[in-house]
Amino acid sequence: MEASIKKIILATDFSDTSKDAGHHALLLVQNYKAELKALHVFDTSVWNVPARYYLKPGFEGFVEGFEEARQRGKDALKELAKSFDLEVETIFTEGDPGHEIIRVAEELNADLIVLGTHGYTGWKRFTIGSVAELVVRHAPCAVLTIRPKGK
């Protein structure tokens, strides 16, 4: 029996590890002649540290207004899609990242999710949690996680 990968979701938070995951997703898309969908979940939770694009330059920790931050996320997702030099559908959702990635994968009947993991351990993993772990445990399809370089 041959595994068929037709639809790949790249879940990104725009981190360096997500960029590495994007490179892997692109190779898989080319190899399997699959379609690629780039997904970003705008995390509205006050408990999570926002991705770096939410921060104003020079003001570490100062978060822009909600609408401006949302627009920056949408713009960053469009730029990422353009960088692949192929047709990529972008999906921008809001909510809890892990649950939204799973929901979108179910809705789209995805064959593979590709995402980076930050490699948190100990206290950081307990307090921040692991989106990648949640996705691996509950995704309706295969999941490829990419670890940070040097871990």
Q: Other CB atoms closer than 10 Å to residue 123's CB: what's the count?
A: 8
**pLDDT at residue number 80:** 95
**pLDDT at residue number 54:** 52
Task: Name which of 29, 32, 42, 38 is nearest 9 in CA terms.
Answer: 38
Range scoring the smallest mean pLDDT among 40-49, 67-76, 133-142: 40-49
Alpha helices in 1-151 (DSSP H): 16-32, 66-83, 97-108, 122-128, 131-138
User: Does the pTM exceed 0.85?
Assistant: no
What average pLDDT is seen over the chain?
Answer: 83
**pLDDT at residue number 124:** 46
**Cα–Cα dist 127/48, whole Å:** 9
Q: pLDDT by residue (tens digit) across 6-64? A: 999 999 999 889 999 999 999 999 999 999 999 999 987 744 445 555 555 554 444 44
What is the band of 69 on the pLDDT scale with cuts at 50, 70, 90? confident
Looking at the DSSP assignment, which residues form a beta bridge with residue 94?
42
Q: Which two tokens stand for residue 101?
A: 């990635």
What is the band of 103 on the pLDDT scale with cuts at 50, 70, 90? very high
Spell out the residues 6+ positions from residue 86 whose beta carbon is closer than 8 angstroms to its own. Answer: 29, 36
What is the band of 119 on the pLDDT scale with cuts at 50, 70, 90? low
**pLDDT at residue number 107:** 98
